[in-house]
Chain A
Amino acid sequence: MTAPMQTTPDSTLIEQMMAGDEAALSILYDRYSAVLFGMLLRILRDRQAAEEILQDLFLQLWRGAARFDASRGSLSTWLLVIGRNRAISRLRGKMNREVTEEEDGDYANSFVSSQNVENEARRSELRGTLNAALNKLPSEQRQVLELAYFEGMSQSEIAARTASPLGTVKTRVRTGMQSLKEMLVGY
Chain B
Amino acid sequence: MTDRHANPEDLQLYALGALEGDEQLTLKAHLKTCAECRRQVASALQSASLLGLAVDPVAPAASVKQALMARVHAEARPATTQKVLVPARKKRWGLRFSLGFAMATVILALATTWLWKENQRHRQEAAGLRAELDRVQAQAAREGDDLRAVAEVVSAPDTVTVTLQQQAGGPPGQAHVLYNARKGLVIYSGQIPPTPDGKSYQLWLVPTQGAPVSAGLVEPNQQNGTVLVHLPQGLAAKAFAVTVEPRGGRPQPTGPMVLVGALSS
**What is the bound-complex CA distance between A166 and B221, given in angstroms?**
55
User: Which of A85, A149, A174 is B9 in contact with, Cβ under 8 Å?
Assistant: A174
In the complex, the answer to whether A41 meets B58 with C-beta atoms within 8 Å is: yes
Question: Which of B76-84, B105-113, B164-172 touches A?
Answer: B76-84
Assess A150 versus B51: contact at CB under 8 Å? Given A34-B59, A51-B61, A107-B42: yes
**Alpha-carbon distance A54/B52, docked complex (angstroms):** 14
Q: Which of A20, A55, A84 contacts B77 (CB 8 A)?
A: A20
Given contacts A38-B57, A51-B61, A63-B75, contact A102 B20 (CB under 8 A): no
Known contacts: A41-B58, A158-B18, A174-B12. The answer to whether A84 contacts B52 by CB under 8 A is yes
Whether A33 is near chain B, meaning CB under 8 Å from some CB there, is yes
In the bound assembly, the distance between CA atoms of A94 and B211 in angstroms comes to 13
Residues in chain A near residue B78, CB distance under 8 A: 17-18, 20, 62-66
Complexed CA–CA distance, A64 and B217 (Å): 12
Those of A151-174 within 8 Å (CB) of chain B: 152-156, 158, 170-171, 173-174
- Asked whether A20 lies within 8 Å of B76 as measured between CB atoms, the reply is yes
Interface assignment of A49: CB less than 8 Å from any CB of chain B: no
Q: Which residues of B contact A74 (CB under 8 A)?
A: 46
* Chain B CB within 8 A of A113 CB: yes
B26 on the A face (CB < 8 A): no
Q: Which residues of B contact A140 (CB under 8 A)?
A: none
Tell me whether A102 and B50 are in contact (CB under 8 A). no
User: Which single member of B18, B53, B65 contacts A127 (CB below 8 Å)?
Assistant: B53
Q: Digit string of A59-73 for contact with B (CB within 8 Å is 1, else 0)?
A: 100111111000001
B47 adjacent to A180 (CB under 8 Å): yes
- Residue in A closest to B251 when the chains form the complex, CB atoms: A102
> Bound state CA distance, A105 and B15, in angstroms?
11
Complex formed: what's the CA distance from A150 to B78 in Å?
31
* A38 contacts B72, C-beta separation under 8 Å: no
A95 to B61, CA, bound (A): 27
- Chain B contact residues: over half helix, strand or loop, or mixed? helix
- B64 surroundings in chain A (CB, below 8 A): 33, 51, 54-55
Docked-complex contact B45 and A108, CB < 8 angstroms = yes
Q: Mark A13-42, 1 if CB is under 8 A from B, else 0.
A: 000011010100110011001111111011
Specify which chain B residues have a CB less than 8 angstroms from the CB of A97 in the assembled complex.
17
Does A181 lie within 8 Å of B47, measured CB to CB? yes
> What band does the interface of chain B fall in when counting residues whose beta carbon is under 8 Å from A?
35 or more
Is A6 in the interface zone, CB < 8 Å from B? no
Give Cα A74 to B251, complex, Å. 17
A142 vs B47: C-alpha distance in the bound complex, in angstroms?
A: 14
Closest to A170 in B: B9
Question: B39: which A residues are within 8 A, CB to CB?
Answer: 110-111
Identify the closest chain B residue to A99 (Cβ): B211
Q: Which residue of B is nearest A85, CB measured? A: B17
Q: From A187, which residue of chain B is reached at the shortest CB distance?
A: B50
A34-B60 in contact (CB<8A): yes
Contacts of A110 in B (CB 8 A): 38-39, 42
Q: Which of A107, A130, A146 has the most CB of B within 10 A?
A: A107
Q: Does B209 contact A (CB under 8 A)?
A: yes
Instruction: For A146, list chain B residues within 8 Å (CB).
Output: 51
A35 touches B53 (CB 8 A): yes
Instruction: Collect the chain A residues with CB atoms within 8 Å of residue B73's CB.
Output: 22
If A103-B252, A177-B12, A180-B47 touch, whether A155 touches B19 (CB-CB below 8 Å) is: yes
Q: List 7 A-B contacts (CB under 8 A).
A: A51-B64, A67-B250, A99-B252, A107-B38, A123-B57, A154-B18, A177-B44
Closest 9 CB pairs of A and B: A111-B42, A34-B57, A148-B16, A130-B54, A80-B49, A39-B52, A148-B18, A154-B20, A38-B58
Please give 14 more A-B residue pairs, beta carbons under 8 A apart, in addition to A108-B42, A149-B16.
A18-B78, A26-B65, A35-B53, A54-B64, A63-B78, A63-B79, A64-B251, A76-B49, A77-B46, A98-B211, A102-B252, A107-B31, A111-B45, A154-B20
Contacts from B to A (Cβ < 8 Å): 8-9, 12-13, 15-20, 28, 31, 38-39, 41-61, 64-65, 67-69, 71-73, 75-80, 209-211, 248-252
